[in-house]
Amino acid sequence: MLAEDGLSVYPGSRELLSNLVYSRQLQDRMALRLANDAGMSSWMRGGISDHDFAHNLSRIWAGLPKDASNESFYQKDGVNKAHIDYGVVIATLGEIYERSGS
């Protein structure tokens, strides 16, 4: 789930999305755009660490932990919490990086 302010950086995004048919393809496109905004290209080039990229992703997806505390970046709002272990996030990023051949 996207954090409430995850799309707020895109002026008019709510209006744009209200006119689109939500699909897996749209979800994938949105996820790639947001991951790129979180620094995916820099991460793939080795410009930022797995930990920094994971933290950036947690600012977009409230269900991801912000760090080894396993708390969501938005945990203090009383609504959001992380739904996956930080170690799993870091291990998964490592697997993605290895498979990419970067």
Strand partners, 72: 65
Q: Is the pLDDT of residue 40 over 80?
A: yes
Per-residue pLDDT of 44-65, as tens digits, reads: 999 999 999 999 999 999 999 9
Q: For residue 50, what are its two tokens? A: 């797995």
pTM of structure: 0.80
- Residues of the chain with pLDDT > 90, as a percent, come to 68
CA 79 to mean position of chain CA atoms:
18
Q: What is the pLDDT, as a whole number, of residue 27?
A: 85
Query: Rounded to an integer, what distance in angstroms lies between the CA atom of residue 45 and that of residue 90?
Result: 17
Q: What is the mean pLDDT of the chain?
A: 87
